[in-house]
Amino acid sequence: MSEFWSDRTVVVTGGRGFLGRAVCARLRERGVGRLIAPSSAEYDLRRPDDVARLFADTQPDLVFHLAARVGGIGANMARPADLYLDNLLMGTYVIEEARKAGTPKTVVTGTICSYPKHTPVPFREDHLWQGYPEETNAPYGVAKLAQLVQAQANRAQYGQNVIYLMPTNLYGPGDKFHPAVSHVIPALIKKCVDAVESGADHIEVWGTGSASREFLYVDDAAEGLVLAAEHYDGPDPVNLGTDEELPIRDLAAMIAELTGFTGEIRWDTSKPDGQPRRRVDPSRAAELFGFKAQVPFAEGLRRTIDWYLTHREEALARDH
């Protein structure tokens, strides 16, 4: 139980999604006074009137803006305009309505996709403006980065308290496994499990396998967001990560072993790798609000695979 949360009304946009459910669980553990996780059917955050109605109906003391339209490389290539506009509108309207409503604090999640394509590793927050994002996810990354500009501009002009956190690639139980929207870990898990069950002798994976990624377990990300809400009130963006980097080729081999797939992994080099490398410097989060990721990657991966095998219908149901 936490005194910080006990008398607060908290709205979590996207609270029924992958990260949102983990954040809501953390808030309940801390004894939040009133927790509201509205659905997109109740309030379409791409519409300013709906956002205004959400704030009028709930009168929150604190807002976590987690709602987003996301997907892997395939989704980003197929629907760049949707990912750009939906994310830009949702973030813009939520931040502005929080300002107009006098909401004491707003926590906004950015994305690692906002960093330039060729960023020095590890990514530090002051690298954000040193180049354009990797092409396949640039529309999404730019839309999310615009919310940092808005938050800082509103803080400077109006004194609005908006903090901006950038989790690295998330994974864990509850992730999306539908091929239209899945990221690399759920996509590889599904491919391997399908191959084992069908007796296939190979799977095909996009790219060369040489790109690297950093992965953050969803419960660790949720803890980071809640700690920041409790302890951080500054204008600067903050990474949430592990400072560990894994080539996709090694990731595929790990997932194959854990799922029992013994066939060939074929790399489709006609498809893009995405950003060449990703690993963030997490030191600012440690210094400002004491965040350090706790779940070892191999353990988190096992938990994710086990969840998929026992919740397959739910895992495949979410296609947007």
Residues annotated as catalytic are 140
Report d(CA 238, CA 220) in Å as an integer: 15
Per-residue CA distances from 184 to 33, 208, 220 (Å)? 37, 13, 19
Q: Are 185 and 261 in contact (CB under 8 A)?
A: no
Report d(CA 153, CA 45) in Å as an integer: 21
Backbone angles phi, psi at 107, to 5 degrees: -110, 120
Backbone angles phi, psi at 73, to 5 degrees: -60, -40
Short-list 131, 167, 166, 133, CA closest to 151:
166
3-class SS of residue 290: coil
**Proportion of the chain in helix, strand, coil states, percent, rounded to 5:** 50, 15, 35
Burial 53-86 (b: 16+ CB within 10 A, else e): ebbeebebbbbbbbbbbbbbbbbbeebbebbbeb
What are the start-end ranges of the H helices in the chain?
A: 3-6, 18-29, 48-58, 73-78, 80-101, 138-158, 184-198, 218-231, 248-259, 283-289, 297-310, 312-317
DSSP bridge pairs for 109 = 165
DSSP bridge pairs for 212 = 247
